[in-house]
Amino acid sequence: MDGQPRKTLPRMDESLLTHLPPFSKLDKRQIRIILDQASSQRYETGIAVFEEGGPAERFYMLLDGYVRVVRITATGEQVTTLHIPAGQLIGIAKAIGRDTYPATALTATESLALSWPTRLWDTFVSEYDGFATETYRILGQRVGEMNNRIVEMATQQVEQRVANALLRLIHQTGRKVPEGIEIDFPITRQDLSELTATTLHTVSRLLSRWEKEGLVQSKRKRIMVRDSHALVVLSQA
């Protein structure tokens, strides 16, 4: 568990959930019941919402911020497997038949999440229309993304993998700015090296070269893609 005190807010507004797909088919009465059973927690950047191997006592809806899903290898190395934006469920170990969390969720920015005891999972699945469908759709997307990355690591050169990782990030979390599309949370070159199973030196060398060529801009934990078409070409080379 993260060890931080949770704050229960019994009268949170229903609008917090009505626009989110797992709950969008529900009426206000149902959402009121769901919110009255929820706890709310704010997290600073870099905090573990839950940790790999810990008992899956709660599941979460990320309302604001971004989360990095991290695994620890047998040799003790940290590997980032996914980035998850606001509006998605996390900590859904129950959906894959586990009673412990399969990975650690670290906040990439200040974040806000609702959570519920795992004992309520079966009730949500059976009683709330759309909850199960959306949960397994999200789960399928995450599994698909991880499978794609496995194929990339087995078949692609480093330059292709890094280009694909940047394209995924701007597709999932990109924010349009005058000069291009910025990844909307702090990401370091070390983070990018973990995502692409390569070294920090290699990622730094690639980004420096792409900056000179006008493809990206990288500074202060922020990466902006200036020429996404050129990255698409590189990713398919």
pLDDT, one tens digit per residue, over 49-63 is: 999 999 999 999 999
**Is the CB of residue 46 less than 8 Å from the CB of residue 111?**
no
Statement to judge: residues 55 and 25 lie in one domain: yes
Are 71 and 113 in a shared domain? yes
**pTM of the model as a whole:** 0.81
Q: 85 pLDDT exceeds 70? A: yes
CATH number at residue 107: 2.60.120.10
Note the pLDDT tens digit of each residue in 150-201: 888 788 899 999 999 999 999 888 899 999 999 988 888 988 988 888 899 9
Q: Domain holding 177: CATH number?
A: 1.10.10.10
Domain boundary among the residues 98, 118, 152 is at 152
- Is-contact 115 103, C-beta < 8 A? no
Domain end residue (candidates: 115, 136, 152):
152
Residue 196: closest CA among 49, 68, 117, 81 = 81
* 107 found inside a domain: yes
> How far is CA 99 from each of CA 48, 84, 96, 121, rounded to the nearest angstrom?
18, 21, 9, 12
Return mean pLDDT, the chain.
90
CA separation for the pair 73, 172 (Å, rounded): 26
How many domains would you assign to the chain?
2
- Residue 142 belongs to domain spanning: 15-152
Nearest Cα residue to 21 out of 168, 151, 129, 153: 129
Given a cut of 50, whether residue 3 has pLDDT beyond it is no
For the packed helices 158-173 and 228-235, what is the interaxial angle rounded to 10 degrees?
A: 140
